[in-house]
């Protein structure tokens, strides 16, 4: 196995191993010599792993010796254990796990021959080569074809590409909200409205009968491609369109979110009509909650969408606010999800003492999330991929920016208990725990001080800012952890995954 293959194997092993240890195993004895032993609950087999920020180098006890496991070996262990847990097989997920590992190797090769972007924010958006740290197949692109078909669109391969411009006949266009930014992207012929399309999606769907009929009947016409390039962001289907001061209507940047007929993590990334309706109802409420706070936290609103009648799920495009004018003066945004994974220019690389930085991070992320929830009944999906953290010239967090209305939930439309569960998972498990683990990895001597500091900060927010939501986070003994391996194994709906209780690191200790 060459160096690239070994790196790909290690990157693919970590999230799958995390899933197994969280969902299907229990510690078996005390750590020793930098390793821990875990017993798989149903089969009883023993796994030994190297400890650290990410568990690594898994070994299986054969009865006489520890057998090292590469990614394919770990997949086989996971398949056998989940079959024992559920009594059912899932060959498709096993294939996805293998495809995810192959995708990682393809991404590493593509990155090695491509110059990374100079913008630190874009570098962070395009840094997630490993991907979701608790998913069995975070880099699979099921339905998207072989890597050669999608690498140019991959954020992890520094993807940037022109968008396809379509014209939608005016009697076939569906518009909702403010979509003027779309009209500024090009010129539509008389009787048509402009509709940008993701070239990957067009390639995947152009032979579908409904799409062919729309072009043949003149409801859709192809107008060419943009003379500028959009930049792929971490969600894959959302692209960034830089501002263009010389063009009226395009002085500021924006994001465009498309459908993709590709399964990424738990879902085929198709925007469905009920999701468009959800965004239309929910975004004004979320935006109003953030306006009421008076800053510095910001929300990237999704001001409108456009699609084609009869092809509502195939070619929708959501218009999302860009970063221009949203950041505090002098600040640079980075994707929070890139901080644990690491990227060139990460503010964590400049730290000498993590505690002031951690306190600043907590102070920018937690209060607006709790205020939106406790005072406005809005639960933002504040997981790391939906959180941008803006830092000053010294790398200190000065602002949090949140995005993605699709994942936001508003009471009473969503039952309060369900919204609270999702909020606790996103904030504590996905966001704060991952950042704390990254800091503990870089600064092991400060590891024991991170969560006590977090508890003091949350208590202070409750006292000084009047945020009662802090009490629940400090007193509940467990928080919900998403069980992505089990959810995918039993084909649970991506919007209703399985959760399991895990110890709450914020809970006040007796």
Q: Give tens-digit pLDDT for 89-128.
A: 999 999 999 999 999 999 999 999 999 999 999 999 999 9
Rounded to whole angstroms, how far apart are CA atoms 308 and 4? 43
| 393 and 478 assigned to the same domain | yes
**Mean pLDDT estimate for the chain:** 95
Q: In this structure, are 311 and 406 located in the same domain?
A: no
pLDDT number for residue 168: 98
**pLDDT tens, 459-496?**
999 998 888 788 889 999 999 999 999 999 999 987 78
Helix (H/G/I), strand (E/B), else coil: 320: strand
Range of the domain at 238: 162-321
Give start and end residues of each alpha helix (H) in 64-177: 71-86, 91-112, 120-125, 147-150
Does some domain include residue 152?
no
The H or E element spanning position 25 is: strand 25-27
Last residue of a domain, one of 78, 112, 146: 112
The pLDDT of residue 161 is above 70: yes
Measuring CA to CA, which residue among 350, 423, 435, 341 is closest to residue 382? 423
Position 391 confidence tier, pLDDT thresholds 50, 70, 90: very high
Give yes or no: residues 317 and 278 share one domain: yes
In the predicted model, what is the mean pLDDT of residues 257-282?
Answer: 97
Residue 356 confidence (pLDDT): 98
131, part of any domain: no
| Digit-coded pLDDT (tens) for 212-238 | 999 999 999 999 999 999 999 999 999
pLDDT at 469: 81
* 126 part of a folded domain: no
Q: How many domains does the chain contain in total? A: 3
In-domain check, residue 441? yes
Q: Quick one: DSSP state of residue 32?
A: B
Asked whether residue 127 is domain-assigned, the answer is no
Asked which of 321, 354, 369 is the last residue of a domain, the reply is 321
Q: What does the DSSP 8-state code read for residue 171?
A: G
Secondary structure, 3-state, 426-461: HHHHHHHHHHHHHHHHHCHHHHHHHHHHHHHHHHHH
**Assign residue 500 a region: left if phi > 0, alpha if psi is -120 to 50, beta otherwise?**
beta
Q: Taking the mean position of all CA atoms in its chain, how far away is CA 124?
A: 12
**Same-domain status, 300 and 434:** no
| 158, 115 Cβ separation under 8 angstroms | yes
Would you say residue 150 lies in a domain? Answer: no
**Are 90 and 184 in a shared domain?**
no
Q: Are residues 311 and 417 in the same domain?
A: no
Provide the pLDDT for residue 509. Answer: 63
CATH number, domain containing residue 345: 1.10.510.40
Among the candidates 301, 321, 341, a domain finishes at 321
90: in domain: yes
Q: Are residues 355 and 499 in the same domain?
A: yes
Which run of H or of E encompasses 131? Answer: none
Q: How confident is the model at residue 370 (pLDDT cuts 50, 70, 90)?
A: very high
Give yes or no: residues 307 and 340 share one domain. no
Q: Residue 451: what are its φ and ψ, rounded to 5°?
A: -75, -35
Q: Do 238 and 356 share a domain, yes or no?
A: no
Q: Are residues 490 and 355 in the same domain?
A: yes
Quick one: pLDDT at residue 468?
Answer: 77
pLDDT digits (tens, 9 = 90+) for 121-154: 999 999 999 999 999 999 999 999 999 999 999 9
Q: Is residue 348 located within the same domain as residue 317?
A: no
Give the model's confidence band at 510: pLDDT under 50 very low, under 70 low, under 90 confident, else very high.
Answer: low
Residues 359 and 493 in one domain: yes
What pLDDT shows up at residue 247?
A: 66
- Whether 203 is in a domain gets the answer yes
pLDDT in tens, 48-86: 999 988 999 999 999 999 999 999 999 999 999 999 999
The tens digit of pLDDT for each residue in 296-328 reads 999 999 999 999 999 999 999 999 999 999 999
Report which of 191, 202, 254 is spatially closest to residue 225, judged by C-alpha positions.
Answer: 202
- What integer pLDDT is reported at residue 244 of this predicted model? 81
The structure tokens 């935006």 sit at: 287
């Amino acid at each position: 196995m060459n160096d690239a293959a070994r790196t790909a194997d290690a990157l693919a092993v970590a999230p799958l191993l995390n899933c197994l240890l969280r969902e299907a195993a229990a510690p078996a004895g005390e750590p020793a010599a930098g390793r821990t032993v875990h017993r798989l609950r149903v089969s009883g087999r023993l796994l030994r792993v190297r400890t650290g920020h990410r568990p690594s180098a898994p070994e299986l006890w054969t009865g006489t010796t520890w057998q090292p496991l590469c990614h394919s070996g770990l997949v086989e262990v996971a398949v056998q254990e989940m079959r024992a847990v559920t009594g059912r097989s899932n060959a498709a997920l096993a294939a996805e796990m293998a495809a995810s590992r192959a995708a990682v190797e393809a991404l590493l090769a593509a990155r090695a021959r491509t110059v990374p972007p100079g913008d630190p924010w874009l570098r962070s958006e395009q840094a997630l080569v490993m991907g979701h740290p608790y998913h069995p197949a975070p880099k699979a692109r099921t339905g998207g074809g072989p890597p050669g078909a999608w690498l140019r669109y991959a954020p992890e391969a520094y993807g940037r590409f022109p968008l396809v411009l379509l014209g939608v006949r005016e009697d076939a266009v569906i518009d909702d909200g403010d979509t003027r930014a779309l009209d500024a992207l090009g010129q539509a012929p008389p009787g048509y409205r402009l509709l940008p399309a993701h070239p990957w999606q067009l390639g995947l769907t152009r032979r579908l009968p409904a799409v062919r009929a729309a072009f043949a009947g003149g409801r859709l016409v192809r107008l060419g491609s943009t003379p500028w390039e959009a930049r792929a962001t971490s969600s894959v289907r959302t692209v960034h369109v830089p501002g263009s001061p010389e063009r009226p209507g395009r002085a500021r940047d924006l994001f465009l979110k498309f459908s993709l007929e590709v399964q990424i993590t738990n879902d085929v990334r198709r925007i469905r009509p009920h999701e468009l309706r959800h965004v239309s109802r929910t975004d004004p409420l979320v935006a109003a909650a953030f306006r009421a706070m008076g800053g510095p936290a910001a929300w990237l609103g999704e001001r409108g969408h456009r699609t084609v009648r009869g092809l509502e799920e195939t070619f929708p495009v959501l218009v999302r606010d860009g970063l221009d004018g949203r950041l505090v003066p002098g600040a640079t945004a980075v994707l929070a999800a890139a901080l644990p994974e690491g990227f060139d220019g990460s503010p964590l690389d400049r730290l000498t003492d993590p505690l002031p930085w951690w306190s600043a991070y907590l102070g920018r992320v937690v209060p607006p999330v709790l205020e939106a929830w406790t005072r406005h009944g809005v639960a933002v999906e504040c997981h790391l991929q939906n959180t941008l953290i803006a830092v000053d010239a010294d790398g200190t967090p000065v602002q949090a920016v949140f995005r993605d209305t699709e994942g936001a939930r508003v009471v009473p439309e969503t039952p309060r208990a369900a919204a609270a569960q999702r909020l606790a998972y996103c904030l504590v498990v996905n966001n704060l725990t991952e950042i704390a683990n990254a800091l503990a990895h870089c600064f092991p001597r400060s590891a024991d001080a991170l969560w006590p500091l977090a508890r003091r900060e949350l208590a202070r927010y409750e006292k000084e800012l009047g945020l009662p939501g802090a009490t629940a986070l400090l007193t509940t003994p467990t928080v919900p952890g998403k069980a992505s391996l089990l959810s995918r194994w039993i084909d649970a709906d991506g919007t209703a995954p399985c959760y399991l209780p895990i110890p709450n690191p914020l809970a006040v200790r007796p």
